[in-house]
Structure 1
Amino acid sequence: MKWNKYTLKTTTEATDFVSGIMIELGINGIQIEDNLQITQEEKEKMFIDYLPDLPEDDGVAYISFYTEENADDENDENLLESLREKLKEANGFINIGEGSIEKSTTEDVDWVNNWKKYFKSFTVGDFYIKPTWESVDEKCSHMQMIEIDPGTAFGTGKHETTQLCINQLTKYIKAGDEVLDLGCGSGILSIVAKKLGAGHVDMTDIDQAAIDAVYDNFKVNKIPMDDVEVILGNVLDDEKMQQKFENKKYDVVVANILADVIIPIAGIVDRFLKDGGIFISSGIIYMKEEAVKEAVENNRGLKLTDVVKQGDWRAVMAEKR
């Protein structure tokens, strides 16, 4: 589907105010581009694969919004005229900047694919992980290769939390192990598990986009799914899912999500583990480390065994008593 994209050139100090004006006019889906540096506090709240390397802030910001290309042009013009009038009024007490509005067209496919320029191949332990659209680096041809196209699902593997999990899976997975991947995203951790010799693998995610990505990524890595099950749903809310996993029992359960989700999972995950089974959890910012450790220690069926650090992120491991 094609869209009209309108981009307003303004100032960083005016972005909040101008965004408010746009919302008042019924504009949704606002996109802000500026060179404001991300604060440490903001970084700690994020859970993304890449932070952009921004140039020095020049005080300029761009705010974009979209309308359907086939929509009535007169409606767009009326909207733009109302926006211009509001900006004129606001410029009397806040620096709006240039205030020019440029029009262009874009497609849905652009939004899906534009981020790909930031995803480059990398290595973790013995694994060489590369995007499907990039050619193989011959220097890494001796390594175990994993190809990933996350689509709109989370998980290229580049983020510290995923790398922590990959290293722990390498440490704990044994041939034939039964593995449960909670919050599987693109499926990269389950692919790693299979490459390490895992037997049956069950995977869950609350996002259909993740489920779709899993099938695509297993296919591109030529891994059969005869002994793989992918389930859409939330293990914390779905008692039938909990019962299924409890009846089955796993050698390894891995959850690379966020601390606020891992904490309640830690209260029930022992039910899914075989005796001596390992729970690998990551997605834990350093400020939440103690809370996750406390949740693990409060579950009498678990024994806290290790905490591994990478940058600001932590992986917490526990064993089924």
Structure 2
Amino acid sequence: MERTWIKYTLLVDRDIEETFVGEVLESPYTLGWVEPQIEILTTENGYDYAENTEGPVIVYLFEPIQDSREEHEARLRAYIGPWGEAVSVDQAEAVAEEHDSWREEFREVRVGDWWIAPSWTMSEELQQADNVLWIDPGAAFGTGYHGTTQDILKLLQEWTPRGKRVLDIGAGSGILSLFCVKNGAAKPVWAVDINPQSDYQIRVNGANNQLADEDVRILIGDASDPAVQAALPAEVDLILLNIGGDEDVEMLPVVDKHLAREGQVILSGIVEWNRDHVVAAYERAGFSLVAEKRSDEWVTVYMERGEVLA
């Protein structure tokens, strides 16, 4: 018989997010996931999104239905009561237990000479493959399905990261960082993301690929924040940026500060109508275009530091 659960959507002040989640993990409730509130924006370059850094984060809790709906909700309100206004219930709904059916949505994908696959994939072809990167979906962005991620992976196969010091900005699930480690990049590869869930997901995916925790150095925060920059290595040979065209340009000072004199940068998350703006900004900063890939409206460019244009 299929069980029914109550799915609670809570709004939690980000100042107490870590403490609240820690307590939930010790409670009778099942933690689903945590995500920021996202605002959809319309810009002159098309659609974009931005994280609402002022408002609360969204926390999803689950509880199997055993009593009346009213009794369940009364117990939840009593549980979150000590948190006062810092935690509130936005929504409660009954949902069917899904077991592992959601896993069917995530299947292996071939990218160049590599397979990207969830750790539970059992296909015979993958068991015999030499090049497999095991990436499980989670609360951090990056499963290998998006064209921008795939195009970066293709460029990394054409222009190997072997022996290079790598900085991955907007690392998400760690797919690019881990790929670089498995392809001979200097250790540690540095992974930066604003999403606190990235730390956990990168460690999970690192373990999936039999890599040590110290192979990837994870920093949570905005790479342009002085405190985060102070923790970064003084110099790297390759910087990966897959955060959006305008954001790639905004990150230019960070790239300029931390990239070696003859270093390379891969820029993605660029929509085709914003491509010239991004490339021109980097060319003015002394970069030259080496290679380019496109997937639908998305553009990914590989650039190398060269002579500054007059």
Q: TM-score, normalised by structure 1?
A: 0.64
Structure 2: tracts of 5 or more residues without a match: 9-42, 50-60, 75-91
Residue 3 of structure 1: which of 6, 18, 31 is its match? 6
How much has 1:114 moved relative to structure 2?
6.3
DSSP 3-state at the match of 2:251: helix
1:287-298 to 2 correspondences below 5 Å: 287-298=273-284
How much has 1:308 moved relative to structure 2?
1.9
State the superposition RMSD in angstroms.
Answer: 3.3
1:202-221 to 2 correspondences below 5 Å: 202-221=190-209
Q: Which residue of 1 aligns with 2:245?
A: 259
1:1-321 to 2 correspondences below 5 Å: 2-3=5-6, 45=47, 72=70, 105-106=94-95, 115-138=102-125, 141-200=128-187, 201-236=189-224, 238-245=225-232, 248-300=234-286, 302-321=287-306
DSSP 3-state at the match of 1:248: coil
Partner Cα separation in structure 2 for residue 168 and residue 251 of structure 1: 15
Partner Cα separation in structure 2 for residue 137 and residue 129 of structure 1: 15
Partner Cα separation in structure 1 for residue 164 and residue 281 of structure 2: 26
Partner Cα separation in structure 2 for residue 154 and residue 269 of structure 1: 22
Alignment check: 8 A CA contact 2:161 2:180 kept = no
Distance of aligned partners of 1:104 and 1:307 in 2 relative to their CA distance in 1, 3 Å threshold: closer
Alignment check: 8 A CA contact 1:267 1:299 kept = no
1:72 maps to a residue whose letter is: E
Alignment check: 8 A CA contact 1:147 1:221 kept = yes
2:301 maps to a residue whose letter is: V
How much has 1:180 moved relative to structure 2?
0.5
2:290 maps to a residue whose letter is: T
Distance of aligned partners of 1:198 and 1:149 in 2 relative to their CA distance in 1, 3 Å threshold: same
Partner Cα separation in structure 1 for residue 213 and residue 133 of structure 2: 16
Alignment check: 8 A CA contact 2:5 2:62 kept = no
Distance of aligned partners of 1:113 and 1:256 in 2 relative to their CA distance in 1, 3 Å threshold: farther
Distance of aligned partners of 1:173 and 1:271 in 2 relative to their CA distance in 1, 3 Å threshold: farther
Partner Cα separation in structure 2 for residue 113 and residue 205 of structure 1: 28
How much has 1:254 moved relative to structure 2?
0.5
Q: What percent of counterpart residues are identical?
A: 29
Q: TM-score, normalised by structure 2?
A: 0.66
Q: Which residue of 1 aligns with 2:83?
A: none
Structure 1: tracts of 5 or more residues without a match: 6-40, 48-65, 77-102
Alignment check: 8 A CA contact 1:175 1:199 kept = yes
Alignment check: 8 A CA contact 1:252 1:279 kept = yes
Partner Cα separation in structure 1 for residue 236 and residue 62 of structure 2: 49
Distance of aligned partners of 1:72 and 1:179 in 2 relative to their CA distance in 1, 3 Å threshold: same
DSSP 3-state at the match of 2:213: coil
Q: Which has the larger radius of gyration?
A: 1
